[in-house]
Amino acid sequence: MLSVIIPTHNSEQALVRTLAGLVSGATAGLISEVLVADGGSRDDTATVADVAGCECLTVEGSLGRRLRTAAGRARAPWLMFIPPGTVLYAPWTDEAIRFVEQTGPRTTAAVFRQSSGPQTALQQVLSLLAAALRGARPEQGLIIAKPFYDQLGGHSEDADDPQAEFIRRLGRRRVVTLAATAFHAP
């Protein structure tokens, strides 16, 4: 169902955390493959990817080029972009499965609800309000149908922050926030 794309550059430790959070998706049969789109790391990022059974693509050039190249190589009908250091909390797989199995036109994408760790009820409400005002961010991951991604032209190779630029291009009305949470610790 999902091809997970993780853009890396000297991201060894952050990649370990992210991959650990994806195990439940692999065991549930949700994840078909994990593509690590690396920008020429000099640490053990490629070794971590290899040990975890990921395909590590070394792509020269911008972050946008790495993301587009990995998306072009993806075999699954759905793409999930997630930056290294973002950890998805169970039961994220249930939410993701519900989203990808919805019927109808595939003109929406999904992100995970961002978490900053344990919070009081008031902090949760304030956090949700801030997220609604701010809009989606790359640290929340992004699930999108591959044809819809292609229709939108994919990530820009020239943007300073191609992930944020792509989410802005999607627009708020075409991004659904799932109830499952993601925590980002670079």
Which CATH number does the domain housing residue 65 bear? 3.90.550.10
Residues 6 or more apart whose Cβ sits within 8 Å of residue 35: 3, 4, 5, 6, 54, 55, 57, 70, 73, 74
Tokens of 36: 């690590």
- With 0.95 as the threshold, say if the pTM is over it: no
pLDDT score recorded for residue 118: 52
Return the number of other C-beta atoms located less than 10 Å from residue 27's C-beta.
10
Q: Which domain holds residue 105?
A: 2-184
Q: Is the pLDDT of residue 181 over 90?
A: no
**pLDDT tens digits along 108-131:** 999 998 765 555 555 455 455 444
Tell me what the pLDDT averaged over the chain comes to: 88
Cis peptide before 84 (omega within 30 of 0): no
Domain count, the chain: 1
